[in-house]
Chain A
Amino acid sequence: MAGSAASPTYPVTLAAEEPATRGGFLQRAWRVGRRRPAAIAGAVVVTLFVVMALAAPWIATSDPVRTDWAKIRKAPSWAHPFGTDDLGRDGFSRVVWGARISMQAGVFSIVLAMAIGVPVGLAAGYYRGALDQLIMRLTDAWLAFPFLILAIGLVTILGPSLVNATLAIGLGATPTYIRLTRGLVLSTKEEDYVQGARALGAGDLRVMARHILPNVVSAILVQATVAIPTAIIAEAVLSFLGLGVQPPAPSWGTMLNAAQQFLEQAPWMAYWPGLAIFTLALSFNLAGDGLRDVLDPRDY
């Protein structure tokens, strides 16, 4: 980050350096991108999936939930490039619409986790003391629940649906952000520019929002790009188990659940939804690796 390299003598002018950081970001992105074509490819594929999710009604060739008894489990053909499923629904259209559900669950759950985890971690790291102890013990206990077991427990209480699966995944990912933010805050708040801001009479909220947060945000964003593919897979798993998106909605997980019953008769039902999850998760991971290089060159 440019912030930590800035002269500590004039800490309050840091906010004014924002435009310079942006220019630096693009330049660095270009340099890293040229060196790491895989990261660029990942980012491009992620963008394509986003476009696919947003433009699903126009890309899909037919209604993803319309059943057709004349077309049950047909092998891939020109009319149905991904074949049809056990209810005669078009596989391609279902995979396209499935991107919407996966993206929703993946992105919103991590946004939720950050919305809770970052402020809580910020408070714990900034105020320390009893509050910190309480938050960290709760976080430890929360982390002890295996992600999927926690999600299953929450879905049991809330009932299975896309919204509840997203909530469960988000709550499961929250402690990671609490810990990460707290750790970053602990090291950042000792920096001279934070001390300087405090000496100039800035209040707690101002110091946290204007001086600490901007300096920890890049590490949090990098963590998010790693967490989103995990969340996407988690949604697919929950839906596969029947605890997430409910049929007939086209989720990649529920499609794989149906596919498992017809592996011998209609293997194509299993290829595409899984390949979609794999491609999206892989692309996110590749792009995330690149983003880490761009945002945090110190590691490399």
Chain B
Amino acid sequence: MIEFLVRRAFISAVTLLIISLIVFTGVRLIPGDPARVLGGTDADPAGLEEIREKYGLKDPIPVQYLRWLGLALRGDLGESIRTRTSVAWTIAIKAPITLELAALSLLVAIGIAIPAGVLAAVRRNTVWDVLASSVSLCGVSVPNFWLGIMLILLVSVRFGWLPASGFVPLAEDVLGNVKRMLMPALVLGTGLAAVLMRQTRNAMIEVLSADYVRTARAKGLAQRAVVVRHALRNGLIPVVTILGLQMGALMGGAVVTEQIFVLPGFGRLIVEAVFTRDYPVVQGVVLITASSYVLINLLVDVSYSVLNPRIRIRGAADGG
């Protein structure tokens, strides 16, 4: 158990280190003087000198990397070229909006996918199964930004039920916040729901033919009890793994969704930063998203090994 955790944590640490190397190298690949890249084209000579000093740009590259990494580990991701505020602070302000969007989308996705997937598996090869699978296939194929535009067209432009864009902080106006988050969460949740539904269906089909399910049926348990208490619990294990792996797609999807619904989160921040060549912000956002992805999946794996002993044995057996 301990060995598995240590091993898993070690691999994650190596991954994080490589991620930081990739991000560091990426910024160095941008043509031009690194001080200008980090300081902006309108930085004065004194400002440039300050940046050279801070990041040790006159030192050898490996020393520069270590210095940059040390600063990043202490939460110093540099300064935004455009606003001259700290990148870490900017991200900290924007993150809650994206996190709220992601959390609501997850709720939408799970709320649709699990019941639909279970239904499709239990009523395998019936109209329900075909219907659920078809809807799921459409969900995978539809570009979510187009879905968003169509929703705005129908719900906001045609019927005027919900505002098309904008953001109200949750703390200020709960109803206003939910009204503006509903469509984005629906749009972002749909794609994820489609993927999850397929996984749930496949996992449930496998579990429903397992011996212990047959035993549960044989001892006379009602269908509902068999499905919910015996099959679903085990069937959900692979689904949660997929959920962890889908976090990347969710973060990417948030970028587009925030753009369509004009939500001032993480995703809008990075797109604006790209257009204004605000490299420190791009670097910070990329570094933070990739790192959180690794950490989320580490947590998923660890929580599993605690819940299910079989996984930690298998995990230790096949190594990394």
Interface residues of A (CB under 8 A from B): 136-138, 140-150, 152-157, 229, 233, 236-237, 240-243, 256, 259-260, 263-264, 267, 270, 273-274, 277-278, 281-282, 284-286
* B15 A144 Cβ-Cβ under 8 A: yes
Give the distance to chain B from A125, nearest Cβ to Cβ, in Å: 14
Tell me if B153 and A278 are in contact (CB < 8 A).
no
The answer to whether B253 has its CB under 8 Å from any CB of chain A is: yes
Question: Could you say which of A140, A237, A267, A285 contacts B11, with CB atoms under 8 Å apart?
Answer: A140
Interface of B is mostly: helix
User: Which residues of chain A have C-beta atoms less than 8 A from B253's C-beta?
Assistant: 148
Given contacts A146-B251, A154-B26, 6 further A-B contacts (CB under 8 A): A141-B18, A144-B15, A146-B290, A236-B145, A278-B138, A285-B137
- Residue with the greatest number of chain A CB neighbours at <10 A, chosen from B138, B141, B157, B256: B141
CA distance A231 to B142 in the complex (A): 13
Q: Are B285 and A157 in contact (CB under 8 A)?
A: no
Contact A149 B19 (CB under 8 A): no
Which residues from chain A contact B150 at a C-beta distance below 8 Å? 270, 274
Q: Contact partner of B146 among A150, A156, A256, CB < 8 A? A: A256
- Is residue B68 within 8 Å, beta carbon to beta carbon, of the partner chain? no
A281 to B138: give the CA distance in the assembly, Å: 9
> Within the complex, what minimum Cβ distance (angstroms) separates B226 from chain A?
26
B65 to chain A, nearest CB (A): 15
- Residues B149 and A260 in contact, CB atoms below 8 Å apart: yes
- B138 and A282 contact, CB distance less than 8 A: yes
Chain B residues with CB under 8 Å of chain A are 11, 14-15, 18-19, 22-23, 26, 29-30, 137-138, 140-143, 145-146, 149-150, 152-153, 157, 164, 247-249, 251-253, 255-256, 259-260, 270-271, 274-275, 277, 279, 282, 285-286, 289-291, 293-294, 320
Is the CB–CB distance between A157 and B29 below 8 Å?
yes
CA–CA, A229 and B253, complex, Å:
16
Beta-carbon contact of A237 and B137 below 8 Å: no
Chain B residues closer than 8 Å to A141, beta-carbon distance = 15, 18-19, 22, 290
Find out whether the CB atom of B149 lies under 8 angstroms from the CB atom of A259. Answer: yes
Complex contacts, B142 vs chain A, CB 8 Å: 278, 281-282
Q: Could you tell me if A282 and B137 are in contact, using CB atoms closer than 8 angstroms? A: yes
Evaluate contact between B145 and A256: CB separation under 8 angstroms: yes
In the complex, what's the smallest C-beta–C-beta distance from B289 to chain A, in angstroms? 5
Other-chain contact of A149, B137, B140, B141, B289 (Cβ < 8 Å): B289
Is B251 in contact with A243, judged by CB distance below 8 angstroms? Answer: no
- Measured between beta carbons, the chain A residues less than 8 angstroms from B260 are 260
Determine the residue in chain B with the shortest Cβ distance to A145: B290
Closest CB in chain A relative to B12 CB, distance in Å = 9
Residue contact B143 to A149, C-beta cutoff 8 Å: no
Pairwise interchain contact B137-A236, C-beta atoms closer than 8 A: no
Write 9 A-B pairs (CB below 8 A) sorted by A numbering. A144-B291, A149-B252, A153-B26, A156-B279, A241-B255, A256-B146, A259-B149, A260-B149, A267-B157
Point out the residues of chain A lying under 8 angstroms from B19, CB to CB.
Answer: 141, 144-145
Cα separation A149 to B281 with both chains bound (whole Å): 13
Closest to B255 in A: A148
A-B pairs, 5 with minimum CB distance: A148-B252, A274-B146, A146-B248, A141-B18, A282-B141
CB distance from B282 to the nearest CB of A (A): 5
Q: Which residues of A contact B141 (CB under 8 A)?
A: 229, 278, 281-282, 284-285
Contacts of A146 in B (CB 8 A): 247-249, 251-252, 289-290, 293
Separation of A207 and B187 alpha carbons in the complex (Å): 48
What is the distance, in angstroms, from B266's C-beta to the closest C-beta of chain A? Answer: 10
Which residue on B lies nearest to A241, using beta carbons? B271
**Taking the nearest CB of chain A, how far is it from the CB of B147, in angstroms?**
8
> In the complex, which of the residues A156, A236, A267, A277 has the most CB atoms of chain B within 10 Å of its own CB atom?
A156
Is there an interface contact between B279 and A147, defined as CB atoms closer than 8 Å? no
Query: How far apart are B269's CB and chain A's nearest CB, in angstroms?
Result: 11
In the complex, what residues of B have CB within 8 A of residue A285's CB?
137, 140-141
Alpha-carbon distance between A156 and B277 when the two chains are bound, in angstroms: 8
A242–B275 CA distance with the chains assembled, in angstroms:
9
One of A138, A148, A270 near B256 (C-beta < 8 A): A148
CB contact under 8 A between A267 and B153, given known A146-B249, A147-B249? yes
Whether the Cβ atoms of B252 and A147 lie closer than 8 Å is yes
CA distance A239 to B14 in the complex (A): 34
In the complex, are the beta carbons of A153 and B252 less than 8 A apart?
Answer: no
Partner among B18, B143, B282 whose Cβ is within 8 Å of the Cβ of A281: B143
Contacts of A148 in B (CB 8 A): 251-253, 255-256
Residues A145 and B286 in contact, CB atoms below 8 Å apart: yes
